Structures are given as C-alpha cells and as structure tokens.
Structure 1
Amino acid sequence: MSDPQISIVAPLYNERESFPHLVPRLNALMDASPLSIEVVLVDDGSRDNTAELMQQVALADGRYHCVFLARNYGHQIALTAGMAAARGTEGLFIIDGDLQDPPELLPKFYAKLKEGYDVVYAVRKKRKEGLLKRTAYFLFYRFMKSISYVDIPLDSGDFSLISRRVANVLNKMPEESRFIRGMRSWIGFKQIGVEYERDARAAGESKYSFKMLRRLAYNGIFNFSEYPIKFVSRLGMFSIGAALLYFIQTLIKKYVFGDVPEGFTATVFLIILFSGVQLIALGLIGEYVLRIFFQTKGRPLFVVREVIREQERLGDDLPVFSDEKVKASS
C-alpha cells in the first residue's frame, strides 16, 4: 500500500476517558475526507489502559498505527516520536489526544497547505479553561515573544499542519530539551495562522502538571532567547552601580559631614543583596549548562517498546528507535 497523504499525530498519556471520544471523531474525519489519511497514536508510558485501547483499534483498523514508548518521556518527546514514525507524503497534522484541538479543522488547514504554506498553525482566540491558567498562558506567550530571537506567534501551540519538508527538518533536529513550536518557527518557510476556539477536554483531567508546564516554559525561554544570560550581565552591572553609590555615600558622610556610617544592618543588607545576585546568576547559567550536559550525552531522545502498524517495516530512517517489536494489523 502506498504511503498516505496526511498523517495525524496524537500523543497520549493516561487518556482512557477521552479515547472513546477521540476514535469516532477521527473515523468520521477519515471517512468523509477524499485524502488518504493515517493516524499515528503515541503512548507516552501510560499507567492506565490507554495502551490496550490503542492496540485494539490499531489491530481492527489498518489506518491506525501505534507507537508505544518504553516509559513516560513527556509530551514534546512523545510528539517527536510520532513525527518520526509518520509517513504522510504531504503533511503531518499534529493534535492533542484530549480533543482540545478539534481534528475537524484538517480540511481548513489542508486548504492553506495547498496554497503554498509549509506551516499552518492554530491561534487560540478563546480558551475554555480556568482563569488562572488562561492568565498564565496569556502572560507567558507575550513575555516569550518579547524576549525571543525567533518570531513565535502569539497564542499558538503545537496544534498545526506541517508540510513533509518541515517534518523532515524537525526530525533531523537532535535537541534534547525540545520546544517544538519554537523549533517550528525557527525553521522558517511560509507560515500562516488560523484562528480557532479551543475546546474543553473531552473527558478526564489535564495531564500537564505545573511542573511540566514550567519545564516547557523553561525550554522555550532558554532555547530561544538570549535574555536570561543578558539579564545576568545587567544584574551584575546594577549590583556594581549600587555598591559604588553606597561607597560614594560613605565617603561623603565621612569627609563632608564627619559621620562614619556604623551598624550591623547595612552590612547584612549588602551581603544578602550580593549573595542573592550571585545565586540568581549561577542559577541562570546553570540552566544553560544543564541543557548542554544532557545534549552532549548523545542518548536517543526516546526508546520504543513496541510498534503496531499496517506494514511490517520500520524504515532505516528512525535511528532513535530501539528494542522494537512490530505487530501487523489485520
């Protein structure tokens, strides 16, 4: 069988509640579309029965292909695994398995792809989430845009349709601390945004904890901005300036007013101030060093435990896969 035109890539982690809603909507999309479509589902080390549900649908329907990771690697790595396995000749349609990204927008995105755009990304004009989370996302995207050396569109996530050549470039980028929406913007080519209203989760609760969101934000900031390291330099200059002002004030009090400043409080204040500045500087530099450390290890981005796909072939272009077993779908 020839390769499909479009691959729908959906990473999943503990999505047993939303999975029964996901498959019917994907089936309806594929049945109604004139395009040849495959669905690549990636299990990111789920602890519930998501993997079993994926296996059942893949063995029953040859349009579904499943990649089971050896453990939980996180959303961005799971998405990377799905893109590496996808065979779409024209493009990859990236969605979340919780159905907050409506798959029914594929025809609208595909029309833009046929107009000559290589990246069609979704722009959220409305989010059906809590006020705190909406505010945090709003502030982060604007802060990120103000400090990044790459033009990352406001209010856009991973939900997108990317051309085959963009997918090939992304698959060749070996970054360990991945921020795919930033990498997608860095690549370039013709890109356009399409507004949509982000839905609430189909079922269950969000698997993106505050810790995971913070890590994603850090990857965006430290991978696509020079601001943190420049901030350290500016903070150092400010500290030196504050120390010089205090020194001048001390000299004026001594030689003009004959008053030598005394007291334990001023000394403690200065020690705390400069110690805090040094710790902040070390922490920011450490974020860069940590990423260099993990990148230079040269480990594969992920390990695949098992693959279920229509054909018994993995391809020689997936070097990050290891310990793979293949089941042919019927």
Structure 2
Amino acid sequence: MFISVIIPCYNEEEVINETNHRLVSVIEHLTPQFELIYVDDGSHDQTPHLLRKLQQADPRVHAILLSRNFGHQMAVTAGLDHAAGDAIVLIDADLQDPPEVIEEMVYQWSQGYHVAYGVRTERTGETIFKRWTAKVFYRLINCLSDVQIPLDTGDFRLMDRQVVEALKIMPERDRFLRGMVSWVGFRQVAIPYQRSPRLAGVSKYSLWKMIRFATDGILSFSLVPLRMTIWTGIFTFGFSLIGIVYALVLRLFTSIWVPGWTLLFISVLFIGGIQLVFLGVIGEYIGRIYRENKQRPLYLVRERLGFEKKITES
C-alpha cells in the first residue's frame, strides 16, 4: 500500500512545518510507503524555501513549485498529475482538516470504497457569513445540477488510483474537483469530522474568490442558467402581451390612451433588464468555451523537488 498526500500551499510559512510533522506522524502509522507532495501555488513568502528544507531533510517529501499563482484547483490538479500512490489524499496546509481523519479514510478504502470524503459537522473558527453561504451554495448547486454533490464537503478526501486516472482524462479549465469526483461515480463514503480553526494565518479565499469558485461549480455542472433564459423569455413575452392588450383597450375604447407612456416605460426597463442579465449568463458560457478552445496548459511548473523523473505539464 503506497499513499500519496497532496497539500496545496499558498503563503503558508507559519504552518508548513507543523503540517508536515502531523502528516508524517499520521501516515507513518498507516504504511511505511508514502509520499507527501506539496504544491506551492506561487507563494510570495518563505513557503518555497521551507519546502526545499523539508525535502532535503526527508526524501519522502516532494515539492512542486508552480511558475505563478494558478489557483487552488489547479494546484491540486498538479499534485494529482504527479502522485504515484495507490490511494491519494487531498488536504489543505492550514490544518483546518485534521490529518488524523486520514486513518478512517484509509480504513474505508481498504473496505472497498473508491472515495472517502470528509463531511464537516462543525466549522469551528469560521464566520457565520461563511458558514451560511457554504450551506446555501451546496443546496443551490444540487438544485441546479444533475450531479449531486454531498453537502458540507470540501476537497479533503481520499481517492483510489482508479478515480484519479478518471480525473486526469478530464481536461476542463474551469475546474470544480469535488463536483468532478461526484460525476465520475464509483463507490463513495462520507467521513464526518469537526473542522478546526486555522493554526495560523488567514484564509486565502477572499469574498471575490468564493464567488468565483461558486460560479465555477454552478456553471460547470448545470445548464439551468441557460434554460432559465427560455422560461424567462416566455414569461416576459406573456407579460408583454398583457401590456399590448392593455394599450389597445385604452386606444380603442377610452380617450386616455396618450398617457400610456408609463406602461411603455416600465415595459422597456423590465425587458431591457432581463435581456442584459441573460446576455451576461450566455456570455459567461461563451467565455468558458473560448478558454477551453485555447488549449493552454492547466499550470506550469517552475521547479520540482524530490522527483526522480520529469513529468510533463498538463
């Protein structure tokens, strides 16, 4: 049994040594054969330097230094492309997801499950706003998408090699890995756990990044926003017909038809607003098609530490 652990990092100099210590302590009790793959996503603090020291001290530690910040999902993808394990664990470097839960994940894997994913029963240390928006997001995406994503999950999970190979042949640019893992299927099991506060530092997900991530999840796994344009168009057309009938009645049967500018004004604003909103939705989908057609690499590697052979960028 060979286990790979992928740890994406972005400005984690305050926690990286403790993260490595806890991960090694946990994995050593499970198997002597393992690797820790740290993926530095363009950090501008001392994280790359600390990863270099960790790798020099322990050959089981590997590091991938990306050429710039490509985002969390791309960093995880880089780790998956380089992982050699029979089972691959994804965990963030901030220790909010306790490494000790990996033991239960490995047990479930040994029982025949292909994916063991963590479900957050409590989110200690997070704001009420973040907890509330996370609950709304998962329920919203499950309403809109044909793929059901387990509620209150993150990327903290163990995946069998078979699942990872399936993910590696999915080359989309706007990646939402927890949705992709749900899409591929296989036998999956939930592992409930209590999320801990960050050991140090601050969250790297700003409000804008959270909104963008949520948008990726919804638009990557749902055509409902596009279909809404059809139904809204039908509704708007019906509303316009009522306005037309009203205007004709005023014109033919009353003498107050001239002041009808109010209805016209309201109708133009309403229809114009709806058109602009859904042009934006359509434009977002077209933009994603444009990005896919450019076929740029998902990420670029500046340096690999601890890998015996070069692996081509994906």
| Candidates 192, 208, 213, aligned match of 2:210 | 213
Residue pairs, 1:142-157, within 5 angstroms: 142-157=139-154
What's the counterpart of residue 112 of structure 2? 116
> Which amino acid letter does the alignment assign opposite residue 289 of structure 1?
I
What's the counterpart of residue 186 of structure 1? 183
TM-score (norm 2): 0.96
SS in 2 for 1:262: helix
TM superposition shift of 1:281: 1.2
Give the conservation status (yes or no) of the 8 Å contact 2:118–2:154: yes
Residue pairs, 1:68-79, within 5 angstroms: 68-79=65-76
> Which amino acid letter does the alignment assign opposite residue 304 of structure 2?
V
What's the counterpart of residue 327 of structure 1? none
What's the counterpart of residue 195 of structure 1? 192
SS in 1 for 2:259: coil
Q: Rate the CA distance shift 1:306–1:27 in 2: closer, same or farther, 3 A.
A: same
What's the counterpart of residue 158 of structure 1? 155
What's the counterpart of residue 233 of structure 1? 230
Count of residues paired in the alignment? 313
What's the counterpart of residue 51 of structure 1? 48
Query: Where does the alignment leave 5 or more consecutive residues of structure 1 unmatched?
Result: 321-330
> Which amino acid letter does the alignment assign opposite residue 15 of structure 1?
E
Measured in 2, the distance between the counterparts of 1:261 and 1:58 equals 81
Matched, 1:87 2:84: yes
Give the conservation status (yes or no) of the 8 Å contact 1:250–1:261: no
Query: Where does the alignment leave 5 or more consecutive residues of structure 2 unmatched?
Result: none
Give the conservation status (yes or no) of the 8 Å contact 1:99–1:201: yes
> Which amino acid letter does the alignment assign opposite residue 34 of structure 1?
T
What's the counterpart of residue 268 of structure 2? 271
TM superposition shift of 1:100: 1.0
- State the Cα RMSD in Å: 1.4
TM superposition shift of 1:314: 2.5
TM superposition shift of 1:32: 2.4
Q: Deviations over 1:271-303 (max 9, x none)?
A: 211111111111000111111101100111000
> Which amino acid letter does the alignment assign opposite residue 106 of structure 1?
I
Measured in 2, the distance between the counterparts of 1:189 and 1:33 equals 24
TM-score (norm 1): 0.91
TM superposition shift of 1:185: 0.6
Residue pairs, 1:240-255, within 5 angstroms: 240-255=237-252
What's the counterpart of residue 176 of structure 1? 173
Measured in 1, the distance between the counterparts of 2:300 and 2:313 equals 10
| Candidates 282, 285, 305, aligned match of 2:282 | 285
> Which amino acid letter does the alignment assign opposite residue 134 of structure 1?
R
| Candidates 127, 137, 140, aligned match of 2:123 | 127
Aligned-residue sequence identity (percent) comes to 40
Measured in 2, the distance between the counterparts of 1:225 and 1:256 equals 48
Q: Rate the CA distance shift 1:226–1:35 in 2: closer, same or farther, 3 A.
A: farther
Give the conservation status (yes or no) of the 8 Å contact 2:97–2:156: yes
TM superposition shift of 1:35: 4.6
TM superposition shift of 1:29: 1.2
Measured in 2, the distance between the counterparts of 1:161 and 1:11 equals 15
Measured in 1, the distance between the counterparts of 2:277 and 2:21 equals 50
TM superposition shift of 1:108: 0.2
Give the conservation status (yes or no) of the 8 Å contact 1:149–1:226: no
What's the counterpart of residue 323 of structure 1? none
> Which amino acid letter does the alignment assign opposite residue 144 of structure 1?
I
> Which amino acid letter does the alignment assign opposite residue 220 of structure 2?
N
Moved more, 21-30 or 192-201: 21-30
